[in-house]
């Protein structure tokens, strides 16, 4: 947004400002000394932590406003407001009075000068520290990330994703997809494509909407991001290049407003699917898919053309069955899907926590049953009966004709009212292992004993009250251990914590038969 407060709040000049030593992305909060999510005030150059750490940057702004109201304002004090700050990792600018990210600049271009100065400090610190880190990693590659698990020391290879300005919705989805091994491994094994000029390769850049050309590849930047997430060589990776490509090809996600993680996931999978249907370094990606013996033809579900790894893993088929209540005519239609959106039944909507006593506990099975139960369509959804030759009352029922390898379940927590979009904050109980989907199948007798069982791989959680606000994090399992991904922070967690989460999106992976005769 265009901020009207820059002229009164941006006062520092980079050359004379007293910045801390070291790289800006590692600066510590002047209050709590945390180096997570540092923000620099563009009025006084003080550094504080972001609102999702301890919130001292916002408190700095609030304290400045209290000081102005409690003391007699001088002409100088009226100009100094401490309302605008800059993220020291992504260089995005935020105004607390506007409560939004800022895209404009002062007449003298001070915001861009500060941004360039921070970039230069970051690059200088990176260059000076690069050789020392490389030598350290060569000598002891496992010492960079160690933690205690059950009394023994083990390597923690997980990498966080830096928040580029309300991009937690993207980070949560990327971390979840990176822990779906069948999906992640396919992209990591694709051949690399170098799209950037040799002079700019590897350099951290700040992209604007008008920057760059149209020669961008979502598949390539997605591949690079997945490769960076489990190398263990850094604590956090900045997905700037991927976010830039998202801006180029998905206009709905331009800017720094909070977005819906489920909507982003659908756009991401759809665009990956479309791009994979084209060529890759002169080789058709459909050929690559066919040559990969682990993706058999029977597992493919075509959506909008040829099959890709997206439809081979996430693709399933629904049967939509509609019956006319007047003449009994039955209509069947088969619809492919990449995920299922489930309503939380209305009788459970006041149940906000697992331990709350009033009312029954809502389970994932309740949501699935509500999705597949026979439903009588209301007056606004009358069915055009071809036998009666007019719209009639009817019933509708969904069956699952084909289950996917990875079952993605979206709980519909956001609902539009007359004026705003409300959140359903109900706790929904979900299993970590053994989700049985057999009773929802059209032909369950044709399914194997374990082909309908699913184990949880990842969970996306929305914290807050509305879709346009709040914060997204993710839980995911990797090599038998559960991790909590909160932007650049990754922590080891346990199953008890995971099952208490108010899930928004659940990723279940099909349990493989013990014989191992068919593997994805």
Q: Among all residues, which ones are annotated catalytic?
A: 168, 471
* Residue 278 CA to its chain's centroid (Å): 25
- Token pair of 400, please? 């699952």
400 strand-pairing partners: 318, 441
- β-bridge pairing 428-429 and 362-363: parallel
Query: Which helix H or strand E contains 126, and what residues bound it?
Result: helix 110-139
Structure tokens at 357: 């006593």
Continuous segment of H or E residues that includes residue 274: helix 261-276
Cα(123)–Cα(48) distance, integer angstroms: 21
Question: In the numeric block, which tokens belong to residue 8?
Answer: 């009164």
Cα gap 288→309, rounded to integer Å: 10
If we measure between CA atoms, which residue out of 6, 26, 33 comes closest to residue 96? Answer: 6
| Terminal CA-CA length for the chain | 45
Return the closest-CA partner of residue 160 out of 2, 284, 37, 271: 37
Cβ(244)–Cβ(212) under 8 Å? yes
Tokens of 516: 């191992």
How buried is 406 (Cβ within 10 angstroms: 0-12 exposed, 13-18 middle, 19+ buried)?
A: buried
Question: What does the radius of gyration of the chain's CA atoms come to, in whole angstroms?
Answer: 26
- Strands 453-463, 471-478: pairing kind: antiparallel
Q: Are 504 and 411 in contact (CB under 8 A)?
A: yes
Spatial separation of the C-alpha atoms in residues 322 and 325, rounded to whole Å: 9
* 3-class DSSP state of 78: helix
Kindly write down the DSSP assignment for every residue of 292-335, as one continuous string.
-TTS-GGG---SSSS--HHHHHH-EEEEEEEEETTT--EEEEEE
Sign, Cα dihedral of 249, 250, 251, 253: negative
The Cα 91–Cα 207 span in angstroms is: 10
CA distance linking residue 36 with residue 46, whole number of Å = 15
Answer for the pair 262, 505: CB distance below 8 angstroms, yes or no. Answer: yes
């Amino acid at each position: 947004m265009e901020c009207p407060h820059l002229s009164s709040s941006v006062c520092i000049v980079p050359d004379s400002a007293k910045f801390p030593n070291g790289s800006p992305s590692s600066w510590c909060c002047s209050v709590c000394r945390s180096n997570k999510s540092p923000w620099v005030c563009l009025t006084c150059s003080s550094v504080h932590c972001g609102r999702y750490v301890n919130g001292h940057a916002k408190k700095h702004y609030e304290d400045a406003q209290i000081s102005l109201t409690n003391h007699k304002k001088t002409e100088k004090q009226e100009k100094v407001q401490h309302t605008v700050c800059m993220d020291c990792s992504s260089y995005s600018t935020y105004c607390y009075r506007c409560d939004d990210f800022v895209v404009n600049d002062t007449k003298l271009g001070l915001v861009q000068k500060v941004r360039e100065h921070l970039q230069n400090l970051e690059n200088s610190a990176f260059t000076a520290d690069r050789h020392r880190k490389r030598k350290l990693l060569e000598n002891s590659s496992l010492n960079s990330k160690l933690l205690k698990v059950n009394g023994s020391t083990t390597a923690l290879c997980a990498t966080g994703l830096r928040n580029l300005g309300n991009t937690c919705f993207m980070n949560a989805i990327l971390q979840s997809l990176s822990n779906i091994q069948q999906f992640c491994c396919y992209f990591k094994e694709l051949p690399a494509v170098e799209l950037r000029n040799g002079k700019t390769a590897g350099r951290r850049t700040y992209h604007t909407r008008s920057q760059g050309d149209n020669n961008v590849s979502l598949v390539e930047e997605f591949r690079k991001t997945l490769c960076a997430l489990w190398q263990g060589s850094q604590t956090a990776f900045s997905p700037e290049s991927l976010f830039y490509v998202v801006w180029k090809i998905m206009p709905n996600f331009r800017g720094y407003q909070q977005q819906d993680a489920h909507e982003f996931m659908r756009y991401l999978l759809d665009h990956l699917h479309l791009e994979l249907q084209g060529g890759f370094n002169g080789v058709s990606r459909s050929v690559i898919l066919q040559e990969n013996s682990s993706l058999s033809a029977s597992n493919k579900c075509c959506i909008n053309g040829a099959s890709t790894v997206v439809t081979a893993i996430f693709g399933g088929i629904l049967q939509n069955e509609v019956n006319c209540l007047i003449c009994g005519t039955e209509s069947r239609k088969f619809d492919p899907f990449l995920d299922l959106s489930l309503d939380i039944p209305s009788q459970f909507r006041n149940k906000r926590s697992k331990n709350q006593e009033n009312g029954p506990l809502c389970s994932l099975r309740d949501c699935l049953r509500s999705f597949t139960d026979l439903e009588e369509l209301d007056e606004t959804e009358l069915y055009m009966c071809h036998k009666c030759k007019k719209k009639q009352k009817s019933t509708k029922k969904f069956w699952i004709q084909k289950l996917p390898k990875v079952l993605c379940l979206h709980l519909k927590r956001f609902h539009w009212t007359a004026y705003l979009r409300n959140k359903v904050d109900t706790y929904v109980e979900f299993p970590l292992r053994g989700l049985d989907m057999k009773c929802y199948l059209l032909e369950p007798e044709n399914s194997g004993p374990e082909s309908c069982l699913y184990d949880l791989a990842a969970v996306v959680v929305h914290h807050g009250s509305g879709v346009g606000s709040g914060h997204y994090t993710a839980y995911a399992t990797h090599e038998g251990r559960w991790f909590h991904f909160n932007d650049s922070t990754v922590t080891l967690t346990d199953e008890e914590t995971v099952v208490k989460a108010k899930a928004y999106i659940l990723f279940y992976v099909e349990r493989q038969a013990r014989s191992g005769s068919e593997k994805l």
